[in-house]
Structure 1
Amino acid sequence: MYQVFYCLTDQHDWGLVALGGAVCLLASAAAISLFHRARATQGSARLVWLALDAIVSGCGIWATHFIAMLAYGPGAGAAYNIPVTILSLIFAISVTFVGLSIAVSSTRTPWILLGGAIVGGGVAAMHYTGMAALEMPARIGWVSGTVTASILFGIVFGAAAIHVAALRDDLSHALSATGLLTLAIVSHHFTAMGAVELTPDPTLAISGLSIAPATLSLLTASAAAAIIAIALVAAILDRRAKGQLGRQQVVLDTALENMSQGLCMFDRDGKILLFNERYAAMLRRTDMQLSGRRLLDVLREEQARGHWQGDPDQFFAQLVADARDGRTTTTIVSRFGRSIRVVNQPMEGGGWVATFEDITEWLAAQEKISHMARHDALTNLPNRVLFHEQLEQGLRLARPGDQLAVLCLDLDHFKDINDSLGHPIGDALLKEVGRRLAACVGEKDTVARLGGDEFAVVQLGKEEEAAATALAGRLVEVISAPYQIADHQIIIGVSIGISLSPQDGSNPDELLKNADLALYRAKADGRGTYRFFETGMDARAQARRLLEMDLRAALGRNEFEVHYQPIRDVASDRVVAFEALSRWNHPQRGLISPVAFIPLAEETGLIVQLGEQVLRNACADAATWPEEIGVAVNLSPVQFKNPNLVASVTEALAASGLAAERLELEITESVLLQNSEATLAILHELRAQGVRISLDDFGTGYSSLSYLRSFPFDKIKIDRSFVSELSTREDSMAIVRAVTGLGRSLGIATTAEGVENDAQLELLRREGCTQAQGYLFSAPRPASEVVMMLAKPRLRASA
């Protein structure tokens, strides 16, 4: 060791020694940085970084050697053999490349240490080959022990440097590894220089292929420094780029782990390249090793656990084939009670990316939306859309000889219930009706709510018309049974129209239209019943539409006339008033009965305009009569929905000059069923003007004594149905007696309608009825005959 120390202190130029050490340190730093870059890459990129690392390391070792040799100064006449010098550079690069390749390719410590030792051996190989290139008039001898020590220094410190560098890619490990590698090169060189023994020999000549030490050292130092600097800059730039990529990787990893979807990437062989935690959790693979494994192996493991049904090999082969052929596939699988949508997207170059989305709640929401779109929200029955679809399906699946029946149902007087008791009660009633309907039909039949109080039934697979008849009769009976809803007992009826396939139609629209026509006939025949479609119904419906068109035109052409029927006082036998009755004088059809057009006018809303015309004409005519004669005008329930009703009455009185007390407005009980509070307010407003109010057709509807208590009517009119049977039915007589007695008790006048013979009149007089009207006295006559009816005594002939 003394010899080495002496050589370093007395035989070297310390300035050049420092230069050599700086070059060595710079080369070592670049070599360690390139070593980290090589470990961070794969394939051809790793090979490029290894080659660059070997070149930089070898050049750094080689340059350090010759700068240090210039510092040693072997003396005048010394030179370096060029071919051997080049060979030493080749040894430095190639041996270092072998060692770095071994260290980079393994994660096991023994192999990393071996690679580092080979790098240290490359330092020795370069040094002693470079010494062999030295030509001078002296023989070079070596101290074997010192030579051995120099080689061991290179190997030990080289192995330590590469091992530290492989532990972690951070600043502290990089600095430590750089220092150890620098120590490996420097310690080897100066120890080896201490082993040199020079023996002068003037006979030794310098060959022609040589170069002076100073020139070689400066050239090699300059070239090596440039190479090392360039490599170091490349390494720094690459590290910075890798750092930026690392930061981007962190962002991407964060995004990947915060995805609502599971994601897994596979290579062309089906090996898992990467996945996120959502994927592992969704498929319950968190306790399995996934990275680097083939999907097929994962599926086989799941099959062994009982978590995979089917053939894993076939499933995996199909996935690989789809990816190879560039096919994107989308499937919905059920795993652990959840519905998962899987999309496999092929990648360029092979492999595929699979995304997994839990769509359980989405499917449930879609199913709910689909259900709501095709079902009634109130009753949960099929709506018109679904009903139409199932009717189409029933017609399509019907076999020869099968019969399909369509029943259209409409609740009788539901609107009155809805208006009088409120929409919540009406909704509850509709739900109960829907429940009863569903309970009545067969498993293959369909019940639907088409809207409002309209329902429909499709009866399938029955061959006899009797089956539809039996079902319709059962529905009428069940729907008409009393309902108990919110402390209200409600009784309604149902009208049903029936059409049959194939005789009444072969498509849904035709069957529904014909069932509607039959339903209209059921309503016209008194409600609470059912009717089958008949061929003539379509003609009658068309006639009704034509009548509606004529009705609208008639209002504009003033084709309506007012006829008057006298009302006589029973006790004094004199006319006290006339009831105004509308008549339609059609240009082609002549006089049309009110029974034909009044219901149509009410359904279409034209009754409002017609009622205003009758009211104006009646007031104008009555103004020309004696002052003791009044006029009675009927008001339709539809007119009470017109907010201008009171104003219309006021204007008619003002325009005619008729005193308000001479006008009597007749209403039916159904008027009081609809929004009774608002109706009573209108009646009180009219009564305040002096107009008299009478209750028409008392006893035929929802007769309730509460009506008479809630509003002080001026008159009660007894319906003609009771009067016509006075002499033949005791119950009719009892009803008339009760009504007249009620009128006397309350101080309300009573008028009997439809009096046609003296016997009826005599019975009414005996029971104390106040007034009477009917054909016994006169049929309704035009206004021009009112004077004659006032002067002429009542007719004694029976109708």
Structure 2
Amino acid sequence: MYRVLTCLTSEHDWRLVVLAGTICWLASAVAISLFHRARASRGRTRAIWIGLDAAVGGCGIWATHFVAMLAYDPGAGAGYSIPVTLLSLVFAIGIVAVGLCIALSSARWPVVAIGGAVIGAGVAAMHYTGMAALELPAFIVWSPGIVVTSIVLGSVFAAMALLVAVRRDNPAHTLGATGLLTVAIVSHHFTAMGAVTLIPDPTLGTDGLSISPTALSFLTAVAAFAILGLSLLAAMIDRRAKGELHQQKVLLDTALDNMSQGLCMFDADGRILLFNQRYVELMDRSGMPLQGRLLIDVLRELKSVGEWDGDPDEFFAAVVADAKAGNTVTKSIGRNGRSLRVVDQPMKGGGWVATFEDITEWQAAQEQISHMARHDALTNLPNRTLFREQLEKALRLAKRSDQLAVLCLDLDHFKDINDSLGHPVGDALLKEVARRLGECITENDTVARLGGDEFVIVQFCSDCDPSAVALLASHVVEKVSAPYEIAGHQLVIGVSIGISLAPEDGKNPDELLKKADLALYRAKEDGRGTYRFFETGMDARAQARRLLELDLRAALQRGEFEVYYQPIRDVAKDVVVGFEALVRWNHSLRGMISPANFIPLAEETGLIVPIGDWVLRRACIDAAQWSQDVGVAVNLSPVQFKNPNLVSTVKEALKASGLPAHRLELEITESVLLQNSEATLSVLHELRAFGVRISLDDFGTGYSSLSYLRSFPFDKIKIDRSFVTELATRDDSMAIVRAVTGLGKSLGIVTTAEGVETDAQFDLLRQEGCTQAQGYLFSPPRPAAEVETMLLKPRARVVA
């Protein structure tokens, strides 16, 4: 150490020493700044920064050495070998470049330290090569211990300089790294100069490729200016790069602050590197410092004030472990009454980015969509999908002692109300029905709407018998059948119920629903407004009904339908004035099938439309061939009346047969008028316009018959057979017949009594002034071939 101090104080010019130190400081500052730029870059850009840094650093080391050598007075004339001097510059630049590449190859501190040590070795290589360029009339003797010390000093301080530089890119760390790198170069040089001992030898001199100290002074000055120029260039580039970085930072900050998501970036240790305001708002962390803090410290602080549930250490360890494993983790958390989706995405090189999204409204929308998909939009009851899920769950949970019943409900006469008063009234009625059904069940039961006017109830009770189901069914019938007040209308409907029991009638939803539906069909057959339990025979009846439907669909193609005719007699003249056409089905295997068995089925399946069209055409053809110009009456089903081609079908039938329109009479019931009064009246007026007569069948059985007579001028009204049958035995029936015939006389409408079977009934009808009569008293319906006989044969005075 004494030798070094003696060399520095007695053998050097302090003015040049200060100049060398200044050049070294400047070069070191620029080198550290460029190192930061290289570290922040990637790929080709990093390579450019490394090259520029190596050039500045190498030239700085070289200039520092030779300026310091000018400050050294060896006591004899000296020169410098040009090739070796240039080689020392190459060594300085090349080895510094290698050290920079090593230091920038990894963020781990041992690798950075090795890179710094290589730069220190480059300083040593440059120095001792430069010393080898010194030509003196003397021998240079080196002190090995001091030489090693100089190399160690340069490597250690250079390694420390880069470790400080990579710690953080801020003025304090940059200043510290610059100082350490300056110390590395200067300490190495002057320690190494302290290792020199000169032994004079006059025989030694300079060769032809040496350079004088004066020339070297010039070259050193040029090198110094080169360093200053490169420093200026680097500063300009650095300033521009920092400007771009600042602009990018502003853009990044703007983007982060305007994100709908919260974002927080963590390094490999869990330290918060970056976050936006949205993160602070969503996580409610505005009152605490976050930048640069470890996440575990933040969580512990939240735990201490009661704002964090669970174990912070355990949570932190799990997050860090997932990040190190490269796992992307998505989870949902609750915060201040809001639902947040958190996604932890690992980063290359360690650390992770956490994004926080408020999904409260999205979750509500998803729940609403799910609710809509599984509930009826009108009544908010479970729909078929949810009902099936609930029924399956109930069947799984039911024990042997539990009673589970499925009640299928169908509203009676709802369609008539829906068609006559419109869908808004029908919808309001369905809502009220749903409300009443909800009042009938317990919290263990379920009521659902399957569609239209179909509802279903699942009753679940423990250790009870079918009487509890019957009690519920009777309560539902009573509750639903009570009058409704809807939009100013007092409405009355009924309900039919079919019931199946589990496990007796089935162990799965399909089987239970099928058998409840069969029981419902039986309840409708038995007069509606009641309930029926499933019985084994119902399945057989349903099978028979399905077979009948199949035969009915093929009956038209096989030509199995026939038209029979029943005479209609004028009461006063006692002559036949027309015939009512009645369809009969002569099955190829079963023989004659009663209309009561197949007409309802045809109406339910829609087959009544082609069957009715065929009857109309057949009746027109037959009537056109009769010897007398009597009329023919054809019944129109309400289903037929919905056919938009009805008017054209009637016209085509008349045209094809040649039958005059006034001889055709179309009979409709009040249910036709219930469908859509305006459209129905329009069709009736159109039929009347080309001469067809219109008759109102089953008059007196509806609740608004008089309003129909006022809204449309019917040609005929037919008194229902239920009044005629009891004509001679009940005074009220007689009063109704008297009122209807009187009404017909007043309005100029023909009245026809149906179902006349005795002379006493006929005589009473004649006394009351009834215009026409038909029934078994005159003749049952006969095939078309017997019409002429019925026209010519006088009425027999017998009781049918």
TM, length-normalised to structure 2 = 0.79
- After TM superposition, give the deviation of residue 709 of structure 1 in Å: 0.6
* Structure 1 match to 2:33: 36
CA contact (8 A) 2:32 2:177 kept: no
Percent identity over the alignment is: 64
Once the two structures are superposed, residues 93-124 of structure 1 have per-residue CA deviations (whole angstroms, 9 ceiling, x without a partner) of 89996997899689798995998699699889
Structure 1 residues 384-393 or 479-488, which shifts more?
Answer: 479-488
- After TM superposition, give the deviation of residue 590 of structure 1 in Å: 0.7
> After the TM superposition, which residues 124-143 of structure 1 pair with which residues of structure 2 at under 5 Å, given as runs?
none
Aligned letter for 2:63?
Answer: G
> After the TM superposition, which residues 404-553 of structure 1 pair with which residues of structure 2 at under 5 Å, given as runs?
404-461=404-461, 463-553=464-554
Once the two structures are superposed, residues 453-511 of structure 1 have per-residue CA deviations (whole angstroms, 9 ceiling, x without a partner) of 11111111252111221222222222222222222222222221111111111110011
CA contact (8 A) 1:102 1:112 kept: no
Structure 1 residues 477-486 or 509-518, which shifts more?
Answer: 477-486
Relative to structure 1, the CA distance from residue 709 to residue 67 in structure 2 (aligned partners, 3 Å threshold; closer, same or farther) is: farther
* Structure 2 match to 1:770: 771
* Structure 2 match to 1:159: none
CA contact (8 A) 1:522 1:531 kept: yes
Structure 1 residues 533-542 or 576-585, which shifts more?
Answer: 533-542
CA contact (8 A) 2:28 2:181 kept: no
Relative to structure 1, the CA distance from residue 208 to residue 428 in structure 2 (aligned partners, 3 Å threshold; closer, same or farther) is: same
Relative to structure 1, the CA distance from residue 132 to residue 465 in structure 2 (aligned partners, 3 Å threshold; closer, same or farther) is: closer
Relative to structure 1, the CA distance from residue 109 to residue 609 in structure 2 (aligned partners, 3 Å threshold; closer, same or farther) is: closer
Could you tell me how far apart the structure 1 residues matched to 2:76 and 2:735 are? 159
Aligned letter for 1:602?
Answer: E
Could you tell me how far apart the structure 2 residues matched to 1:309 and 1:355 are? 20
- After TM superposition, give the deviation of residue 230 of structure 1 in Å: 7.1
* Structure 2 match to 1:753: 754
Q: SS state of the match for residue 639, structure 2?
A: helix
* Structure 1 match to 2:94: none
Relative to structure 1, the CA distance from residue 302 to residue 121 in structure 2 (aligned partners, 3 Å threshold; closer, same or farther) is: closer
* Structure 2 match to 1:199: none
- After TM superposition, give the deviation of residue 761 of structure 1 in Å: 2.2
Could you tell me how far apart the structure 2 residues matched to 1:768 and 1:21 are? 145
Relative to structure 1, the CA distance from residue 22 to residue 556 in structure 2 (aligned partners, 3 Å threshold; closer, same or farther) is: farther
* Structure 1 match to 2:99: none
CA contact (8 A) 2:25 2:179 kept: no
* Structure 1 match to 2:788: 787
CA contact (8 A) 1:27 1:56 kept: no
1:356 equivalent to 2:356? Answer yes
Could you tell me how far apart the structure 1 residues matched to 2:177 and 2:251 are? 38
Could you tell me how far apart the structure 2 residues matched to 1:596 and 1:437 are? 33
Could you tell me how far apart the structure 2 residues matched to 1:332 and 1:110 are? 41
Could you tell me how far apart the structure 1 residues matched to 2:159 and 2:782 are? 130
- After TM superposition, give the deviation of residue 769 of structure 1 in Å: 1.9
1:283 equivalent to 2:286? Answer no
Aligned letter for 1:270?
Answer: G
Once the two structures are superposed, residues 217-248 of structure 1 have per-residue CA deviations (whole angstroms, 9 ceiling, x without a partner) of 45655776777777877777677666655555
> After the TM superposition, which residues 692-707 of structure 1 pair with which residues of structure 2 at under 5 Å, given as runs?
692-707=693-708
* Structure 2 match to 1:294: 294
- After TM superposition, give the deviation of residue 674 of structure 1 in Å: 1.0
CA contact (8 A) 1:78 1:134 kept: no
- After TM superposition, give the deviation of residue 578 of structure 1 in Å: 1.0
- After TM superposition, give the deviation of residue 132 of structure 1 in Å: 13
Structure 1 residues 427-436 or 357-366, which shifts more?
Answer: 427-436
* Structure 2 match to 1:270: 270
* Structure 2 match to 1:403: 403
> After the TM superposition, which residues 647-686 of structure 1 pair with which residues of structure 2 at under 5 Å, given as runs?
647-686=648-687
- After TM superposition, give the deviation of residue 529 of structure 1 in Å: 1.8
Aligned letter for 1:537?
Answer: M
Once the two structures are superposed, residues 504-539 of structure 1 have per-residue CA deviations (whole angstroms, 9 ceiling, x without a partner) of 111100111111111112222222222211111112
Could you tell me how far apart the structure 1 residues matched to 2:262 and 2:177 are? 43
Aligned letter for 2:728?
Answer: S
CA contact (8 A) 1:84 1:133 kept: no
Relative to structure 1, the CA distance from residue 134 to residue 219 in structure 2 (aligned partners, 3 Å threshold; closer, same or farther) is: farther
Q: SS state of the match for residue 376, structure 1?
A: coil
* Structure 1 match to 2:93: none
Could you tell me how far apart the structure 1 residues matched to 2:658 and 2:651 are? 10
- After TM superposition, give the deviation of residue 692 of structure 1 in Å: 0.9
Relative to structure 1, the CA distance from residue 543 to residue 128 in structure 2 (aligned partners, 3 Å threshold; closer, same or farther) is: closer
* Structure 2 match to 1:320: 320
> After the TM superposition, which residues 14-29 of structure 1 pair with which residues of structure 2 at under 5 Å, given as runs?
none
Q: Which runs of 5+ in 1 are unaligned?
A: 1-16, 137-202
* Structure 2 match to 1:79: 78
Relative to structure 1, the CA distance from residue 561 to residue 660 in structure 2 (aligned partners, 3 Å threshold; closer, same or farther) is: same
> After the TM superposition, which residues 562-641 of structure 1 pair with which residues of structure 2 at under 5 Å, given as runs?
562-641=563-642
CA contact (8 A) 1:85 1:129 kept: no
Relative to structure 1, the CA distance from residue 221 to residue 712 in structure 2 (aligned partners, 3 Å threshold; closer, same or farther) is: same
- After TM superposition, give the deviation of residue 75 of structure 1 in Å: 14
Structure 1 residues 380-389 or 428-437, which shifts more?
Answer: 428-437
Aligned letter for 1:478?
Answer: K
Could you tell me how far apart the structure 2 residues matched to 1:83 and 1:563 are? 137
Relative to structure 1, the CA distance from residue 681 to residue 26 in structure 2 (aligned partners, 3 Å threshold; closer, same or farther) is: farther
Structure 1 residues 600-609 or 77-86, which shifts more?
Answer: 77-86
Relative to structure 1, the CA distance from residue 680 to residue 246 in structure 2 (aligned partners, 3 Å threshold; closer, same or farther) is: same
Relative to structure 1, the CA distance from residue 220 to residue 407 in structure 2 (aligned partners, 3 Å threshold; closer, same or farther) is: same
CA contact (8 A) 1:63 1:224 kept: no
CA contact (8 A) 1:669 1:695 kept: yes
Q: SS state of the match for residue 435, structure 2?
A: helix
CA contact (8 A) 1:57 1:93 kept: no
CA-based RMSD of the aligned residues comes to 4.3
Q: SS state of the match for residue 343, structure 2?
A: strand
Relative to structure 1, the CA distance from residue 94 to residue 685 in structure 2 (aligned partners, 3 Å threshold; closer, same or farther) is: closer
- After TM superposition, give the deviation of residue 735 of structure 1 in Å: 2.2
- After TM superposition, give the deviation of residue 730 of structure 1 in Å: 3.0
* Structure 1 match to 2:124: none
> After the TM superposition, which residues 28-177 of structure 1 pair with which residues of structure 2 at under 5 Å, given as runs?
30-38=27-35, 56-64=59-67, 78-79=77-78, 83=131
Q: How many residues align?
A: 712
Relative to structure 1, the CA distance from residue 116 to residue 483 in structure 2 (aligned partners, 3 Å threshold; closer, same or farther) is: same
- After TM superposition, give the deviation of residue 371 of structure 1 in Å: 0.5
CA contact (8 A) 1:35 1:53 kept: no
- After TM superposition, give the deviation of residue 790 of structure 1 in Å: 2.3
* Structure 2 match to 1:166: none
Relative to structure 1, the CA distance from residue 25 to residue 270 in structure 2 (aligned partners, 3 Å threshold; closer, same or farther) is: closer
Aligned letter for 2:33?
Answer: H
CA contact (8 A) 1:56 1:231 kept: no
